[in-house]
Structure 1
């Protein structure tokens, strides 16, 4: 009995200490500069607005002129939009030069939030071409690595933060293959980077959202891409996966996204904010009810049980 009480007390003490430490904030937010990728829409767009609002100087990487214009209209003069295509090293290098020119003398970059990402083709693996997989990996993983590599000297200068957006699909492998492969890569890269730069005073955090209703969840585009992928293959291959019934099931599934995707995008933004404002940021931020209470617990189950559940869910 005493042992059980001691264990419970130890757990409570641990979580209280953890809560107190995580609540401690860094000072002088108004003098710090942050770079965010993928600010045209979604999490990045909202994060840029929120960080500008609380006093950060924000460099917002935008892929399109329309996205940059819309964001600028919502923010103060502390925010600077920067043209950025994370798949182009030339574009990344130009973005770094813009930041260097605008930073005050002898000032580094406090934080880099790697938010840019795409979901890609949502079909069984057999329907994914090499270029379909590369398109997603190029943005979600290779682009993230390239941006981090180029901005790291500026982050080192301020002993700042790197925040990488992964996904719950980086912990629990699910359809689609391109997205899951890219997010597992983000988690692996982040773990290695964190261990490499910890002695330089740089902290690396991973944000792992569940299912959220963002601009990447465009049902019409998703279904068009799926139909095009199916049309490229013979009916015999499609029949293996259910034929016309598969198309209907997928359409119904994605058409009901609003029912199972969270619209609380601010939860991910809150994780970004905490990761760059806490003196002791978390290594991992699992965000979303589904991620916390379904997918993370499932990831600890024996593989044969997880396979049984997901194979039937995905069919």
Structure 2
């Protein structure tokens, strides 16, 4: 029985992936900041929950020590913990920026750092990180979120060269829109009353994302579809295949990015969100 460790496993993609791998016969080590919130072990006997806050170095250290003592081999690490931030940069506080980088980037890096000695000792392992189509292309109101995901993309691709000699593969999952509570949870909490000039673009962007979520033939993926893509990537033995763009909308947007020049692509995004540049 193969073993996978998953961060951020109590909701959305993480929860769907934990349950999907467990149904395929994997031993699933599901970690979460607050595992008592949704104990997945109650849903499948192949799942065991551990507490891990990826933004807390001591929490990571304690969790990995416990996991390594209780499991002879770890086959896959899934860096899934992360969240979005949908707001104009000017409305985003320094605290919010540091918090999202601590989870989406630095937390992912530190969890990876702790598992590398395990994989090197085994001379085998796969590190899968959930990035986003937002790590390959940009959308309005996502400047800070994009910054975190572009960082994950560069870090992971660069890491692939360093780990090749140890038979450690790295994979990037790049979903587009996913039918979760992502966009509601991503909205920044700061008071917008001091920046009314941003209200038109905020309204347009939220409406565009909402339509994408609810339209009859939605291009958004379900968490299960992303989980299935993660399973396929984790079991893909091609060490040179790193990027896995998931979902019809994400694939169409990424193809447009590759086929159009910069000016044409930016015009396409402006048009999609109803933004006119003066």
TM-score by length of 1: 0.78
Match in the other structure for 2:36: 66
**1:146 aligned residue:** 110
Listed one character per residue, the Cα deviations across residues 228-277 of structure 1 (whole Å, up to 9, x for unaligned) are 3413x3xxx432x3x4x445445544544333562522221112111222
Partners of 1:304 and 1:271 in 2: how far apart? 32
TM-score, normalised by the number of residues in structure 2: 0.88
How many residue pairs are counted as aligned between the two chains?
268
- Shift in Å at residue 150 of structure 1? 0.6
**1:17-41, CA deviations, whole angstroms, 9 ceiling, x for partnerless residues?**
xxxxxxxxxxxxx1x2210111011
Distance in 2 between residues matched to 1:58 and 1:222, nearest whole Å? 27
> Using a 3 Å threshold, how does the CA distance of structure 1 residues 287 and 248 change in structure 2: closer, same or farther?
closer
Per-residue deviation, residues 169-188 of structure 1 (Å, max 9, x unmatched): 11112231111000000000
Higher helix share: 1
Q: Distance in 1 between matches of 2:206 and 2:121?
A: 49
Which residue of the partner structure matches residue 65 of structure 2? Answer: 97
Q: Secondary structure at the match of 1:296?
A: helix
Partner of 2:17: 47
Residues 283 and 255 of structure 1: CA distance in aligned 2, closer, same or farther (over 3 Å): closer
Map 1:122-137 → 2, pairs under 5 A: 122-137=86-101
Say whether 1:287 aligns with 2:246: yes
CA distance in 1, matches of 2:100, 2:113: 19
- SS of 2:28 mapped into structure 1: strand
The structure whose Rg is larger is: 1
C-alpha distance in structure 2 between counterparts of 1:269 and 1:142, whole Å: 23
Q: Distance in 2 between matches of 1:66 and 1:215?
A: 20
Give the gaps of 5 or more residues in structure 2: none
CA distance in 1, matches of 2:227, 2:136: 20
In the alignment, is the contact (CA less than 8 A) between 1:41 and 1:215 conserved in 2?
no
CA distance in 1 between counterparts of 2:95 and 2:134 reads 20
Q: Does 1:230 align with 2:180?
A: no
Structure 1 residue runs without a partner (length 5+): 1-29
Query: Which of 29, 53, 56 is the matching residue for 1:85?
Result: 53
